[in-house]
Amino acid sequence: MPSRFLDPDHAKRLAEHRFDFNKRSLAGRVVLVPGGAGGLGAAVTAMLLSDGALPVVVYRSNRGRALVFQQKLQDLYGGLVTLVEADVDEEGGRRAALDAALQIKGEVYGLVALTGDPARVKPENLDGPALHASFAANYEAPVLLARAAAQHMVDKGIRGAIVLVSSMQGVHAFEGSLAYAGPKAALLHAARILAKEYGGPQDVRINVVAPGATVAGMAKASIDSGKYDPYVERGVIPRFGRPEDVARVVRLLLEPDSYITGQVITIDGGLTLRRDRQG
């Protein structure tokens, strides 16, 4: 006997071996992308445009550079990129970003929080103010923005999706990374809590991606310095990550009919699986 929770149309498709793989299922949906003009953010914004979504890109400063970015992506991928100048590290900035996204269609379907700070503090120089600054940028800002977005989705009856961006340093112990890795690790647990609070029948899905050594974003400086070269030279990983690698996983987690929530996906080519064994 078919379950009363099974969609009759879906049951019919299953019987006929017809499966539902949506194409351009983000078309017309508003997605807020703080940090969307950065290295990883640019790939995410391009992916959203390619899928017909309406990305709202939040940048902190340098409007001239943001306008060049906006025009370039619109020329390459079509669609519309909305720009918002705001600092999401501050409550007023988070409110302004969300309000700007709401002005487009009155609702926000998704959030991809790419903002943060590399917190490159030498262990011997790490003190309270430095640690507090990292937590404000890498934990407090994305968590509070995610909670505000999730509450909006629940209030509007939107079955939305939120993706927070951590790091492989948040899922694996790297020496000397305390200032950056601590907040990024805390982000994982916060996402699980939020996923429980806003999941269930409300169906707001909240997940985390944890990029590894990627040639964009905060890891680019470390790659350029040669820090991660030995991992490729010894075959620990086949290559460095690309922004597209991260954007593809973000797209998976934004899928409107996704069955994934409260999870962390590490995108590092297996580096954290092999790092200790390889030395």
Structure tokens at 84: 């918002």
- Torsion sign (Cα): 183, 188, 193, 195: positive
Report DSSP state, residue 137. I
Local structure of 241: helix, strand or coil: strand
- Residue the block writes with tokens 């640019």: 42
Which residues are the active-site residues? 180
HSE of 30, CA atoms in CB hemisphere, 13 A: 20
Q: How far is CA 142 from the centre of its chain?
A: 10
Count of helices and strands (H, E) across the chain = 11, 7
